[in-house]
Amino acid sequence: MQNAIREVLEAVYEPLFYEHSYGFRPKRSAHDAVRVLNQVLYQGEGNWILEADIKSFFDSIDRKTLVEMLQNRVADGSLLRLIGKCLHVGVLDGSDYTEPEEGTVQGSTLSPLLGNIYLHYVLDDWFKRVVLPRLRGKAQLIRYADDFVIAFARQDDAERVQRVLGRRFERYGLELHPDKTRLIPFERPRTRKGKGPRTFDFLGFTFYWGRARSGCRVPRVKTRKASLRRSLRTVADWCRRYRHLSVKEQHAALTRRVEGHLNYFGVNGNSRSLRQFIRGVEGAWHRWLNRRSQRSRLNWDRMNDLLAANPLPKPRIRVQIWSS
């Protein structure tokens, strides 16, 4: 039923949503958002980056306000009542049953779209109609679900928006994380030898100023350190729990996990982080294979032979973020 409601609401709201919204929408991806942001930085329109984090977004959505927003486009009372029931659906976690009193249920197929509708009115439409006309320079909002950054050409514009953004969210029951919401200078270094400015993170990537083959500074992305550590911890935990499986079974499962990582983080310019991830996976696999038996130790010579017979995927680029 939720899938059917989602299809109806998508038909209603897709024409309304703005281009800068990328999360959980047809034919749009996180890579599209990263690609557009990289282009904005390359064009010199992101000298200041407002990096924002919404605390417990899906749990903080005001249901009454959300229904009022839906009434702007949905006139069918039966459909609205069905959506209301979906908002109150319970969650079964093992033998524990709960009915959240606030927000939308995470894991529901309908929640991402409802979240997009909520932020369309709270952030996207407000930014386009109210904020942009009042700015002195260019600015670009880029949002993927509840993760967003705003790139500004001018510092004074960025500071003005930063001052009012928190109050805007409070009106709708949302709160920006005080430690994770920050304004970052990100102007292109003026000299080729000059040290780049601070970095910032978005959608698991770290944005920084790298060097093109010509020596000029250009925006680049790499895997965020926290994302890399989390991925390697997940792999190591899997190797620990399933070290009793045959090498063939372990190799197949690890290959799937490595492929999933490469499909997302395999963007051009990120080869170093990809190689680091592959080496980390090989190290974790070796460590836990070595603990399967006290009598037969697996040194690295034998491990290299095992990897030659059961190779993991190579760290190659899957997605083009910027043109060569």
Please write the tens of the pLDDT for every residue from 24-69: 999 999 999 999 999 999 999 999 999 999 999 999 999 999 999 9
pLDDT of residue 202: 97
Helix/strand/coil for 43? coil
List helix spans (H) across the chain.
Answer: 2-13, 30-42, 57-60, 63-71, 77-87, 111-119, 125-126, 155-170, 225-241, 247-265, 271-289, 300-309
**pLDDT single digits (tens) 61-119:** 999 999 999 999 999 999 999 998 888 877 767 777 777 778 887 778 899 999 999 99
CA distance 151 to 50: 6
pLDDT of residue 193: 60
Rg of the Cα trace of the chain? Answer: 23
Closest CA to 262 of 182, 192, 316: 316
Within 10 Å of residue 170's Cβ, how many Cβ atoms?
11
Taking the C-alpha atoms of 17, 148, 179 and 205 in order, what is their torsion angle to the nearest 10 degrees?
Answer: 160
pLDDT, average across residues 272-298: 90
Go through the chain and tell me how many residues it has.
324
pLDDT of residue 198: 84
Using a 10 angstrom Cβ sphere, with 0-12 exposed, 13-18 middle and 19 or more buried, the burial of residue 103 is buried
174-184: b or e for each residue (b if 16 or more CB lie within 10 Å)?
Answer: bebeeeebebb
Angle among Cα 234, 239, 241 to the nearest 5 degrees reads 95
Read off φ and ψ for residue 11, nearest 5 degrees.
-65, -30
pLDDT, average across residues 239-247: 95
Q: What is the pTM of this model?
A: 0.91
CA quadruple 283, 289, 295, 296: dihedral positive or negative? negative
pLDDT band at 322 (very low <50, low <70, confident <90, very high): confident
Quick one: tokens of 286?
A: 């070796």
CA distance 160 to 324: 36
CA distance 242 to 258: 16
Which residues are registered as beta bridge partners of 93?
A: 96
User: How high does pLDDT run on average in the chain?
Assistant: 92
Is residue 174 within 8 A of residue 186, CB to CB? The reply is no
